[in-house]
Structure 1
């Protein structure tokens, strides 16, 4: 199967989850919607979980894309880079709330790992480590006076709050709206953290 066929499989899996939920997104249903045989799917994916992981991995990599942009773009103006990085990080955090299917997959795979699926657990550990390191590297470009260990800790805390907010969103908690959440994150990243850094110099 070519890349186009794999894209169809991933798109179909995402559509099924969005319309019918995770339980209905079986390999058989995915193959029907994608217009490929189950044999074709099993040639590339061992099971449904591998398909789901790839759907999640493909979509939830914004921090890595932002990082790559700043590392490889030599034309970035250093004076505006810090603000741009934080704006992009904030935007990527808020964009996560629009990715219901991928967020459901992340939660589903995380629970599978917690419940003893070692293969999924190891994949999710690697994925979380990648997310944490990518966000930490972006923060290092912005908060130059923070030690690596503190930046790593901040990255863990930021990602944990995003996970918690997404969990609330998935079960229907709607006390806070996205605009207010974005405002709090903006104040945290642009005002509170720099003030804390300056106070401990």
Structure 2
């Protein structure tokens, strides 16, 4: 395992054990069995390290969008990947905490965090739109970005409910609904959006 991956794994473990605030560079270095200097060789500061962990883990939509344009992947396989990755997302405790850590930083006025999150969400929205185009035949409608934003917000909202421990449904139940949404709901909604533009 290379140094950067070792650092990211260590950061993930420290966040799960001690929370985001307890994920100091020293604690991450100790977990990775490295010096703090070795951490700073790869990262300018703790926030850059944490953002890299968030980016690396929550950018699965980019890979799925790439797969969707690859003719060797069937639509059914792509949907299975979406379901699998979404279910995994609910179990990514460290990364989910990080996402809300950065959201909190933005609310406190951290402009750098806001720019990073805005860029990341723009990328995610674009990738979700590509998936909708290739899987469901979404045409170029004026509401494509809004539709993609709603889908991302739905998953983010469920993640927040689990972080706050206020969602009484099992992940299996949530995924059962998600599966129906992928199979039936999205295709109907895409059809309606496409008709609206004609």
State the TM-score, normalized to the length of structure 1: 0.87
CA distance in 2, matches of 1:65, 1:199: 27
For 2:93, the equivalent position in structure 1 comes to: 100
Residue 14 of structure 2 contacts residue 28 of structure 2 at CA under 8 Å; is this kept in 1? Answer: yes
For 1:181, the equivalent position in structure 2 comes to: 174
For the pair 1:23 / 2:21, whether they are aligned, the reply is yes
For 1:162, the equivalent position in structure 2 comes to: 155
Residues 1:194 and 1:6: Cα distance change in structure 2 (over 3 Å): closer
CA distance in 1, matches of 2:53, 2:138: 37
Paired residues, number? 194
- Deviations for 1:150-183, whole angstroms, at most 9, x for unmatched residues? 3322211111011111111011123212222122
For the pair 1:51 / 2:49, whether they are aligned, the reply is yes
**Cα offset for 1:34?**
1.4
Name structure 2 gaps, 5 residues minimum.
none
Moved more, 170-179 or 135-144: 170-179
For 1:111, the equivalent position in structure 2 comes to: 104
Residue 49 of structure 1 contacts residue 109 of structure 1 at CA under 8 Å; is this kept in 2? Answer: no
CA distance in 2, matches of 1:88, 1:153: 23
**Cα offset for 1:86?**
2.8
Residue 85 of structure 1 contacts residue 138 of structure 1 at CA under 8 Å; is this kept in 2? Answer: no
- Describe the SS at the equivalent of 1:23: coil
State the TM-score, normalized to the length of structure 2: 0.88
For 2:165, the equivalent position in structure 1 comes to: 172
CA distance in 1, matches of 2:147, 2:153: 10
Name structure 1 gaps, 5 residues minimum.
none
Residue 140 of structure 1 contacts residue 148 of structure 1 at CA under 8 Å; is this kept in 2? Answer: no
For 1:134, the equivalent position in structure 2 comes to: 127
CA distance in 2, matches of 1:85, 1:151: 20
- Describe the SS at the equivalent of 1:149: coil
For the pair 1:122 / 2:135, whether they are aligned, the reply is no
